[in-house]
Amino acid sequence: MRFFSLGLMSGTSMDAIDAALVLTEGDRDHLALHVQQEYPAGLRAMAQKLLRDPHTTTADLSRVHYGVGEAFGAVASRALETALKKKIIRKRADVLAIGSHGQTVFHHPEERHTMQLGEGSCIAAATGLTTVSDFRMADTAHGGEGAPLLPLYHRRLFRREVKRGIAVHNLGGISNFTYLGPGGRVFALDTGPANCLMDVAIQKMSYGKAAYDDQGKVAAGGKVHDDLLQGILGSAPVKTFLDRPAPKSTGRELFSIPLVEDFLSRTRHMSENDVMATLLAVTVETIRAGYERFVIRRKLPLSEIVFCGGGAKNTFLLERIQSCFPKVELRTMEDYGYASQALEAQAFGVFAPLALAGLPLSHPHTTGCREPAVCGKITPSANWKQVMRTVPSLRIRL
């Protein structure tokens, strides 16, 4: 069956909202359109306040919840109008459903708590399309960590490559990988920070003039201070996370702004280059440890690692990772014809019809849930009757 769906995504950095229009034909998904819009500055400030201010109120929470929903709805509407102008679709109703990840503002996997804001009703009202949102809650209700959710989609994309043993590695705010091996073997885990610590540090050191270390150029000019590196890796909360078995997940609650602020308070004698080199080493070392413990020691085949996310553009970071695994080929999603920046939004576009069809998204080997869980909350809209007519013929395989 051939159908369109629309996925919406914003990462923990809150720098932009991505919309991906996906055309699904059988077992293949095609990115028909990608629209990216900068996060509204005022909304971003309100959402970030929720992350760090213990005195936020239920009113603050409600404002952000509806604000994110309205912002996502506006981006979805823009994507639909662009698709109409480009004649990708003839009418909005050509799109079966919208899948919205929302904005993560809290993730505490040890207690099975997670929260993504962005009211689905706002998106459905803005677009006239049935919307599926809040995907992670169902997984936590089934005993899972609520993350990561993309592993089975990674398997869908790389079904032909699993015989060689590959990993699909996302370098967003947090670093996580999906291992895909022979015999349908799949598992996933967060390894620790990817860009989140480095981004906060360079934003603070540049007084907001730099959002990130472009291609790792600042870090490349510095040297690693091993005592400070081990201080972060050996701190009780971080070590506790690193020692946990897979599957496991983490977030900015652990690799946080206060952690960076404390680090910077002890590095005033250091150059910005050394600061960034040391924080990049935290990312590299936690990635190395993740593969060493869960793949290499188990003697699982690993022919290549395919990177996606913003960190895939950090050439110095990839060089340092390559030095840890000299016999493993490192590639990016673009090498396979996929758009890294659109991939997560594309995945949630596919997750929407998956939920409508009542098919599971999470699995015990990927999130630790007790049994495979159907994920997402459905908000019907003007096309609901059409959705109900279409659902019986949906055939989606992850």
Write the DSSP symbol of residue 27: T
My answer on whether 165 and 314 are in the same domain is yes
CATH number (domain holding residue 330): 3.30.420.40
Tens-place pLDDT, residues 191-238:
999 999 999 999 999 999 999 999 999 999 999 999 999 999 999 999
Q: How far apart are CA 339 and CA 334, in angstroms?
A: 6
What's the pLDDT band for 5 if we cut at 50, 70, 90? very high
Transcribe 98-113 into DSSP letters: EEE--EEEEEEGGGTE
My answer on whether 190 and 288 are in the same domain is yes
Tens-place pLDDT, residues 282-339:
999 999 999 999 999 999 999 999 999 889 999 999 999 999 999 999 999 999 999 9
Tens-place pLDDT, residues 247-297:
999 987 889 888 999 999 999 999 999 999 999 999 999 999 999 999 999
My answer on whether 158 and 307 are in the same domain is yes
- Strand 166-171 and strand 174-181: the pairing is antiparallel
My answer on whether 204 and 324 are in the same domain is yes
Residue closest to 170 by CA, chosen among 200, 145, 150: 150
Q: How far apart are CA 323 and CA 310, in angstroms?
A: 20
Residue 360 lies in a domain: no
Q: Is 9 exposed, middle or buried, given 0-12, 13-18 or 19+ CB atoms closer than 10 A?
A: buried
Residue 398 lies in a domain: no
Taking a C-beta distance cutoff of 8 angstroms, is the pair 387, 96 a contact? yes
My answer on whether 10 and 132 are in the same domain is yes
Residue 367 lies in a domain: no
Residue 370 lies in a domain: no
My answer on whether 135 and 155 are in the same domain is no
My answer on whether 174 and 284 are in the same domain is yes
Q: How far apart are CA 4 and CA 9, in angstroms?
A: 17
Residue 368 lies in a domain: no
Residue 220 lies in a domain: yes
Collapsed DSSP state (helix, strand, coil) of residue 266: coil
- Strand 95-100 and strand 28-38: the pairing is unpaired
Residue 45 lies in a domain: yes
Instruction: Look up tokens 């413990």; give the residue.
Output: 293
User: Which residue range forms the structural domain that includes residue 316?
Assistant: 151-340
Residue 9 lies in a domain: yes
My answer on whether 301 and 264 are in the same domain is yes
pLDDT for 111 equals 76
What's the pLDDT band for 385 if we cut at 50, 70, 90? very high
Give kind and range of the element (H or E) at residue 24.
strand 16-25
HSE-CB at 363 with a 13 A cutoff on CA atoms is 16
My answer on whether 110 and 228 are in the same domain is no
Tens-place pLDDT, residues 143-186:
999 989 999 999 999 988 888 999 999 998 999 999 999 988 99
Tens-place pLDDT, residues 24-66:
998 899 999 999 999 999 999 999 888 888 888 999 999 999 9
pLDDT for 162 equals 85
Ramachandran angles phi, psi of 142, nearest 5°: -95, 15
What's the pLDDT band for 81 if we cut at 50, 70, 90? very high
- Strand 113-117 and strand 103-108: the pairing is antiparallel
My answer on whether 89 and 24 are in the same domain is yes
pLDDT for 113 equals 83
My answer on whether 100 and 158 are in the same domain is no
My answer on whether 93 and 184 are in the same domain is no
Domain count, the chain: 2
What's the pLDDT band for 107 if we cut at 50, 70, 90? confident
Taking a C-beta distance cutoff of 8 angstroms, is the pair 101, 349 a contact? no
What's the pLDDT band for 369 if we cut at 50, 70, 90? very high
Q: Which two tokens stand for residue 167?
A: 């990993």
